[in-house]
């Protein structure tokens, strides 16, 4: 699933730019993410929210052995079903869970990320957004690790 961070209305007039990201919301920086159920997450800043960018992200980051790829109803995901088994949740119609098909796992990651940004960092620039994404990706992927600090220091 894809998210966009940073509203143009919250920026100084000189930094608002043209306000468009190709479908991701006015003045926002698009981020794509994928997570395996009870597994790890991968998230990256992408250029635009369109079919080509999303497909490139999915092909680079999702295993061909995946049993089911679940997305929301955004039209940019329509061709995903040609390469992967694809389930769709139509959130615009109030649909959030259909049996085992849901996007709650990635929505949980976006919630943790957004709360971390608002509660800890308050402001995230587009320039450093990939670093913030990497931090929250590391935290999420090591949430069960009792020595997460030790592992972070060891990687330095």
Per-residue pLDDT tens listing for the chain (156 residues) = 666 666 666 666 666 655 444 444 667 899 999 999 888 999 999 999 999 999 999 999 998 889 999 999 999 998 998 899 999 999 989 989 988 899 999 999 999 999 999 988 888 889 999 999 999 999 999 988 899 888 888 888
Q: Identify whether 58 is part of a domain.
A: yes
Q: Identify whether 154 is part of a domain.
A: no
Q: Identify whether 108 is part of a domain.
A: yes
pLDDT the model gives residue 74:
92
Q: Identify whether 80 is part of a domain.
A: no
Q: Look up residue 119 and give its two tokens.
A: 């509660």
Q: Identify whether 73 is part of a domain.
A: no
Local structure of 140: helix, strand or coil = helix
Q: Identify whether 69 is part of a domain.
A: no
Expressed as residue numbers, the domain containing 133 is 2-63+100-146
Q: Identify whether 105 is part of a domain.
A: yes
Q: Identify whether 109 is part of a domain.
A: yes
* pTM, rounded to two decimals: 0.76
Residue 6 near residue 126 (C-beta atoms within 8 A): yes
DSSP string, 29-68: EEEEEEE-TTS-EEEEE-S-SSHHHHHHHHHHHS-TT-S-
pLDDT the model gives residue 26:
66
Number of domains in the chain: 1
Local structure of 4: helix, strand or coil = strand
């Amino acid at each position: 699933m894809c998210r966009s961070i940073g509203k143009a209305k919250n920026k100084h007039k000189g930094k608002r730019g043209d306000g468009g990201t190709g479908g991701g919301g006015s003045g926002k920086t698009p981020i794509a993410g994928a997570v395996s159920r009870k597994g790890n997450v991968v998230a990256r800043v992408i250029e635009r929210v369109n079919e080509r960018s999303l497909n490139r992200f999915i092909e680079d980051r999702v295993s061909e052995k995946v049993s089911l790829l679940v997305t929301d109803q955004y039209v940019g995901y329509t061709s995903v079903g040609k390469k992967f088994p694809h389930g769709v949740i139509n959130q615009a119609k109030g649909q959030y869970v259909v049996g085992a098909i849901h996007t709650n796992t990635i929505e949980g990651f976006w919630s943790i990320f957004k709360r971390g940004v608002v509660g800890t960092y308050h402001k995230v620039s587009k320039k450093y957004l990939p670093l913030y994404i990497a931090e929250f990706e590391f935290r999420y992927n090591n949430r069960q690790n009792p020595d997460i600090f030790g592992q972070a220091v060891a990687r330095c």
